[in-house]
Chains A and B, each alone.
Chain A
Amino acid sequence: MKKITDLEIEEVVGNLLRIGVSISAAVVGIGACIYLARHWSQPADYRIFRGEPSDFRNVPAILHSAFTGHGRGFIQLGLVLLIATPVARVAFAIWGFAAERDRMYTLFTVVVLVILLYSLLGSGSAF
């Protein structure tokens, strides 16, 4: 089997990231149309911080909101997809380092992925 080089891995991953960003921008765009069509004439005020309702704070609730046709739920889903793109990149790097049989860097990359997943999934209960 041909040895995979860092550059080849990077090219695949770079293109995947671009596709990920395009998909998330499209989902945000769809959400934007629904949101603006329904709420365009309401006053916009972000002076006072209230924090988002729980519909927009975690992945299951965001999915529910999006699939019941809420514009803001759709936007939030697009944003979650966007946050997931660098996470996917790190996951692909694990595969790449493992294919190169580089144990040290496979381990380093696993550590980074664990930190990212902790932030995305694990920290919710702390607040």
Chain B
Amino acid sequence: MNVLEFTTLVAAGSFIAGLLGSLTGLGGGVVLVPLLTIFFKVDIRYAIGASLVSVIATSSGAAAAYVKEGFSNIRIGMFLEIATTLGALSGAFLAAFVSTKFLAIIFGAVLLYSAFISRRPRTAEERNSPPDPLATKLKMNGSFPSEEGIRYYNVQRVPAGFSLMFGAGALSGLLGIGSGAVKVLAMDQAMRIPFKVSTTTSNFMIGVTAAASAGIYLNRGYIDPGLSMPVMLGVLGGSMLGVRILRKAETKVLRLVFSGVIVVLGAQMIFKGILGTI
């Protein structure tokens, strides 16, 4: 394959990944690394570097659209960012010492987990829970516009959420993904933040977390311009289109299909990691 063919095919694949990722809310990064390593035979370290760049592009590109909706809570985001950026630094440092086989196996496990959590029905929202003293002190409790008017929420279990966010950051730095699935676990499950607030706040956090590890990857020579160019432009184009058609699209079937794809890719990554052919 020559450079022109390679660039065109990778850009097309990344466009589809970005489109499906934004339509289903699962993120494009999670399928990019398997796509590049399994189908394009790219070394997993180059793939992770390119994926990280595309994660920043989607997060920053979508920020303006999310802000207008008025759901995101910048205080929760910024406080948890301390945990995710420290986690991302640790993950990125660790990536230099971990074998590519092991990286592939962890990646596969994260893929399977992401598919699992996206299929699970959300737990019923607890409303009117009493304010938590620590969350109150940190001024995290907030409100957002809903169909029934302004809704107020009280954030719970800040330490648990903070620790999970460190883990999310570490996975992001290690694997070059947004780790949206772990962030949702921390914000929805542990801290009881309403779904819309946690997804929009998580979008903002993903870019900052990815930037923390991207600096290290750049310095280490994992970010290749020839590979990152089609990946970044493709994912950005796909996710921008996804955001535009989101309201009209029927996402239920799409989510099912995309989770299926993620399971297959996850299993492949684990299998290839064990065989050592990655």
* A and B bind: yes
Stretch at the interface among B78-86, B112-120, B256-264: B78-86
CB of B128 within 8 A of chain A?
no
Minimum CB–CB distance from B92 to chain A (whole Å) comes to 8
Question: With the chains together, A127 CA to B204 CA distance in Å?
Answer: 29
B236 lies within 8 A of chain A by Cβ: yes
A89-B60 contact given A41-B3, A79-B223, A112-B82, CB 8 Å threshold: yes
Q: Which residues of B contact A43 (CB under 8 A)?
A: 1-3
Interface residue tally of chain B, by bracket? 35 or more
Q: Using A75-B225, A82-B232, A86-B59 as known contacts, say yes or no to A49 and B45 having CB atoms under 8 A apart.
A: yes
- Contact assessment for A28 and B208 in the assembled complex, using a CB-CB cutoff below 8 Å: no
A72 interface neighbour in B59, B226, B236, Cβ under 8 Å: B226
A31 B67 Cβ-Cβ under 8 A:
no
- By beta carbon, the residue of chain B nearest A22 is B61
Contacts of B81 in A (CB 8 A): 90, 112
- Binding-face segment, B18-26, B180-188, B190-198, B211-219: B211-219
Nearest B residue to A90, CB-CB? B208
Nearest CB to that of B220 among chain A residues? A127
Q: How far is the CB of A43 from chain B (nearest CB, A)?
A: 6
**B275 in contact (CB, < 8 A):** no
Q: Which of B78-127 contact A (CB under 8 A)?
A: 78-79, 81-82, 85-86, 88-89, 92, 96
A39 CB contacts on chain B under 8 angstroms: 3, 226
Q: Residue A9 at the B interface, CB < 8 A?
A: yes
- Residue A63 is within 8 A (CB to CB) of chain B in the complex: no
Q: Given that A17-B64, A48-B43 are known contacts, is A76 also in contact with B211, CB under 8 Å in the complex? A: no
Q: In the complex, are the beta carbons of A75 and B82 less than 8 A apart? A: no
Report if B51 contacts A (CB, 8 A): no
Which among A28, A32, A80, A112 has the highest number of chain B CB atoms within 10 Å? A112
Seen from chain A, the residues whose Cβ lies within 8 Å of a Cβ on chain B are 6-7, 9-11, 13-15, 17-18, 20-21, 24-25, 28-29, 31-32, 35-36, 39-44, 46-49, 51-54, 56-58, 71-73, 75-76, 79-80, 82-87, 89-90, 93, 96, 102, 104-105, 108-109, 111-112, 115-116, 118-121, 123-124, 127
Chain A to chain B contacts (Cβ below 8 Å), 21 pairs: A10-B67, A14-B63, A14-B64, A14-B66, A17-B64, A31-B229, A32-B230, A36-B7, A42-B3, A46-B40, A47-B42, A48-B43, A57-B219, A57-B220, A75-B229, A79-B232, A83-B56, A86-B207, A93-B78, A105-B75, A112-B85
